[in-house]
C-alpha cells in the first residue's frame, strides 16, 4: 500500500479547531481510511485545542496527516518546546482532560522536538475484526 500525506498550516486560534477537524475528516474520507471518523475528530480536536489554549500567539501550528498500511498518524507541530502531560483529573477543574482522552482513544501517542518547538502525534490503527 502506498503512503498518503498532507500538511497544512493554521493559526493557533479557536477557529482552527473546527477547520482542522473538517480538513482531516475530508482527507480520511477521500483516502478511504478505515478509522472511526468520530475518534479521529475527537483526537484532532484535542491536539489543536491544546495549541490554541497553551501556545496561542503569533505562532503557526502545522497539522500533518499520514495514512500508511492502514495506520493513520496525525501530528500537530507548534513553536513551543513545552510538552503535553497527561494530568490527573480533578473535580475543581472543568478542563484539562485532553491528553487523557488522547491516551485513552489513540493506539499510541507521543511528543518530539520539531523546529525549535514540538510535534505531538497520535496513531490509530485499522479496526480489528
Domain for residue 32, yes or no? yes
Domain for residue 12, yes or no? yes
Q: pLDDT tens digits, residue range 69-124?
A: 999 999 999 988 877 766 665 556 555 567 788 888 999 999 999 888 899 999 99
Grid cell 514540538 is found at: 118
Domain for residue 100, yes or no? yes
Across the beta sheet with 61-68, the strand order is 3-10, 61-68, 71-78, 117-124, 108-114
Domain for residue 45, yes or no? yes
Domain for residue 129, yes or no? no
Domain for residue 38, yes or no? yes
pTM of the predicted model as reported, rounded to 2 decimal places: 0.88
The number of folded domains in the chain is: 1
Q: Chain-wide mean pLDDT for the chain? A: 87
Which CATH number characterizes residue 22's domain? 3.30.565.10
Amino acid at each position: 500500500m502506498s503512503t498518503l500525506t498532507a500538511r497544512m498550516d493554521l493559526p493557533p486560534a479557536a477557529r482552527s479547531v473546527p477547520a482542522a477537524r473538517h480538513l482531516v475528516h475530508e482527507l480520511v474520507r477521500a483516502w478511504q481510511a478505515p478509522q472511526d471518523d468520530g475518534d479521529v475528530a475527537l483526537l484532532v480536536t484535542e491536539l489543536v485545542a491544546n495549541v490554541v489554549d497553551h501556545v496561542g500567539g503569533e505562532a503557526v501550528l502545522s497539522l500533518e496527516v499520514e495514512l500508511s498500511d492502514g495506520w493513520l498518524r496525525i501530528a500537530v507541530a507548534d513553536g513551543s518546546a513545552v510538552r503535553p502531560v497527561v494530568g490527573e483529573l480533578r473535580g475543581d477543574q472543568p478542563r484539562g482532560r485532553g491528553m487523557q482522552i488522547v491516551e485513552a482513544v489513540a493506539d499510541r501517542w507521543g511528543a518530539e522536538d520539531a523546529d525549535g518547538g514540538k510535534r505531538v502525534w497520535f496513531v490509530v490503527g485499522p479496526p480489528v475484526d
